[in-house]
Amino acid sequence: MIHVSYGCAIAIFCIGLYTLITKRNLFKTVIGLSIMEGGVLLFMVASGFIPEAGPPLLPMVGGSVNPLPHTFPLTAIVIGASDVALALAYIIKIHRHYGTVDVDKIRGLRG
Amino acid sequence: MNPVLAVVAPLSVGFLVPLVHIFKKRHTGMSVIISAGICSVVSAVVALSGWDGVAVTMGGWTPELGISLMVDRLSGAFLLLAATGFPISLACSMESFGYSPWRFYVLFFLSWGAVNGIILTGDLFNMFVFFEIFSVAAYLMVSYPPRSWQAVEASFKYLIFGTVGAMFLLLGIAYSFMATGQLNLGILSQMMASVPPVTLSVIGGCLVVGLFVKSGTAPTHFWLPDAHSSAQTSVSALLSGVLVKVSVYALIRLSFLLFFPVMREVFSVILFLGTLSVILGHLMAFQQEDIKRLLAYSTVAQIGTILIGVGCASSFGVSAAVYHCFNHMTAKMGLFLVAGALAEDRASRDISHMSGLWAHRPLFVAAFALFAVSLAGIPPFSGFMSKWLLLLASTKEGHIVPALAIVAGTVVSSAYYLKVLRAFFSPSETPVPHRRPRPVSGRLVALLSVLCVLLAAAPFIPGASSVLFSVGDSAVDGASYRDVVLGK
């Protein structure tokens, strides 16, 4: 079953990358970035799973899943949020100047 | 000295600058200068005192659980590179911006702290976190001051590429954690032998792609010319001189620790993409009309040259690559400082408008010629020495095509630097519109040209050459890294 979660996470990552590459709208580019990040985070969370183990709570009964990979996404979420916030701030500035968010109409972002 | 100080000092300065600005506004400039000096000295002392290997694990944990910080010769060399490059860039930005933009100095010191962190850390996830601190600071520095539209666009592009690179890096880190349950580089390097080859290739692919994007290697270099050319002069110098090298450091460190004993194919990929960068970078630079874009494409090519040294997978190759990092830093920072100053005087970055500058600023143009000759690889200068060592390293391992690419690149780069110099020396009908005195830039350019000449002597002095080649040994030797980190 856990393989399905890994597969889903990687599929989400690839969807994000596809969005980033194909869409010409700056907002959709940032959405793609966000989706990619979601895929990686899901992957990390899923990697802590151990079959037939309980939650890592005291008192411990039997085995528990590995709680360490669940702490990495917390840091990564903060980093991703700051990246997305900065990207959106830049989009606002670009939109103010050009009046468009279409990559093809913005001079410097071609190619 | 405790390695953590090299990370803590710039980060704490970064957070103290706003407080100084609020409470002691008159002293902001002076305190920034003094604290930059302190940070630089602290980094250099950490690098030199840890030359034979020093490691600490934060919070009193064992290396399996805690975050290790570690200095050895490879990281010491790059710490010294950062400790030289950052103050030069700071002095230049002080001259052009003055003391007032304290926000810029906050970003500057944050990126310095993060760069030192990447160099020192022995923990994979911690490296990712520092990478993102430095990247976010770099995105903002590229678009500083936020009035220039071109810079905002370049910065947005850099952000998109940088974040994609970071996501690949994070995926690689997640895979390696899944495969081994460890993040400490020393322990990981031991456990990589037990990882199945398919998983190993996935880990290697993700990490290497992430670092290629971050360092601006050929197929993913699109952000680099935009970001480096539209940033302010001092920031361009910093980006090309130091910040790109940090990704190269991470690439050297990770590839040798994790993949050197178990999977040599990673180095073939590095070698291939390095060669591609050399060819593409030089050819693209040849076509540019904008002087800063030309220098930025030349950076892509020089990063490729450095990666050829890494891809040789030998101690000699890494030593030559590190040596070329230093030579490229001195020459390219100098080139950006001169080009920025002359472009501001001419009020244009177009090479065809750059005539009459020899009569206008002869010393700057002479320094430009020196740096250009050195970087193109003409004999008595430092760029030639490191390219020669890289050629030797590459042919010694039997890689003929990369060596030929370096040689062909030398020819092409001489052609495009001569194009720029011809424009500088040709007489002009219109007088140069601006003439702002630049005492600080002038001294920095003089310092960099002295460094550029002195570095050429390094392989001939017996003591210096043995130091240089021991850097490569420490990069290749995973066992001694493990001994230092695990405290044996």
Task: Tell me, letter by letter, the H, E, C secondary structure of chain B.
Answer: CCCHHHHHHHHHHHHHHHHHHHHCHHHHHHHHHHHHHHHHHHHHHHHHHCCCCEEEEHHHCCCCCCCEEEECHHHHHHHHHHHHHHHHHHHHHHHHHCCCCHHHHHHHHHHHHHHHHHHHECEHHHHHHHHHHHHHHHHHHHCCCCCCHHHHHHHHHHHHHHHHHHHHHHHHHHHHHHHHCCCEHHHHHHHHHHCCHHHHHHHHHHHHHHHHHHHCCHHHCCHHHHHHHHCCHHHHHHHHHHHHHHHHHHHHHHHHHHHCCCCCHHHHHHHHHHHHHHHHHHHHHHHCCEHHHHHHHHHHHHHHHHHHHHHCCCHHHHHHHHHHHHHHHHHHHHHHHHHHHHHHHHCCCEHHHCCCHHHHCHHHHHHHHHHHHHHHCCCCCHHHHHHHHHHHHHHHCCCHHHHHHHHHHHHHHHHHHHHHHHHHHCCCCCCCCCCCCCHHHHHHHHHHHHHHHHHCCHHHCHHHHHHHHHHHHHHHCHHHHHHHHCCC
Interface probe, candidates B124, B150, B170, chain A, greatest A C-beta count within 10 A: B170
pLDDT digits (tens, 9 = 90+) for A26-44: 999 999 999 999 999 999 8
Sequence spans of domains, chain B: 264-456
Sign of CA dihedral B35, B39, B40, B44: positive
Contacting residues of A for B129, CB less than 8 Å apart: 75, 79
CB contact under 8 A, A83 and B146: no
Cis peptide bond prior to A59, omega within 30° of 0: yes
Name the A residues in 86-105 with CB < 8 Å from any B CB: 86-87, 90-91, 93-94, 97
CB-based contact A37 B167, cutoff 8 Å: yes
Q: How far is A37 from chain B (nearest CA, A)?
A: 6
The tens digit of pLDDT for each residue in B249-281 reads 999 999 999 888 888 889 999 999 999 999 999
B129–chain A Cβ distance below 8 A for any pair: yes
Contacts of A76 in chain B (CB under 8 A): 128, 170
* Cis, bond preceding B219 (omega within 30 deg of 0): no
At B207-244, the pLDDT tens digits run 999 999 999 888 888 889 888 888 888 899 999 989 99
- Select from B65, B155, B160 the residue whose CB has the most chain A CBs within 10 Å, as the one to mutate to test that interface: B160
Quick check: A69 and B154 CB within 8 A? no
A82 to chain B: which residues are within 8 Å by CB?
Answer: 132, 136
With a CB cutoff of 8 Å and minimum separation 6, the contacts of A16 are A32, A33, A34, A35, A36, A37, A38, A39
| Cβ separation B160–A66 shorter than 8 A | no
Instruction: Report CB contact under 8 Å: A94, B125.
Output: no
Which among B22, B18, B234, B40 has a CA at the least distance from the CA of B105? B18
Place of tokens 């495969």: B179
pLDDT of B346 = 81
- Distance to chain B for A62, nearest Cα, Å: 20
Listed as ranges, residues in chain B with pLDDT below 50 are none
Please, what sign has the CA dihedral across residues B266, B268, B270, B276?
negative
ipTM for the assembly: 0.93
Residue B487: what pLDDT?
79
B220 touches chain A (CB under 8 A): no
pLDDT for A46-105, tens place per residue? 888 888 787 888 877 778 888 888 888 999 999 999 999 999 999 998 888 888 888 877
Residues of A in contact with B210 (CB under 8 A): none
Q: Which residues in chain A are closer than 8 Å to B149, comparing Cβ atoms?
A: 94, 97, 108
Given A33, A40, A79, which is nearest B171 (Cβ)? A40
Whether residue A107 is predicted with pLDDT greater than 80 in this model: the reply is no
Domains of chain A: 2-52+65-109 (1.10.287.3510)
- Look up tokens 């830049």; give the residue: A90
Residues 173-212 of B with CB under 8 A from A: 174, 177-178, 181
Nearest CA of chain A to the CA of B288: how many Å? 15
* pLDDT grade for A111, boundaries at 50, 70 and 90: very low
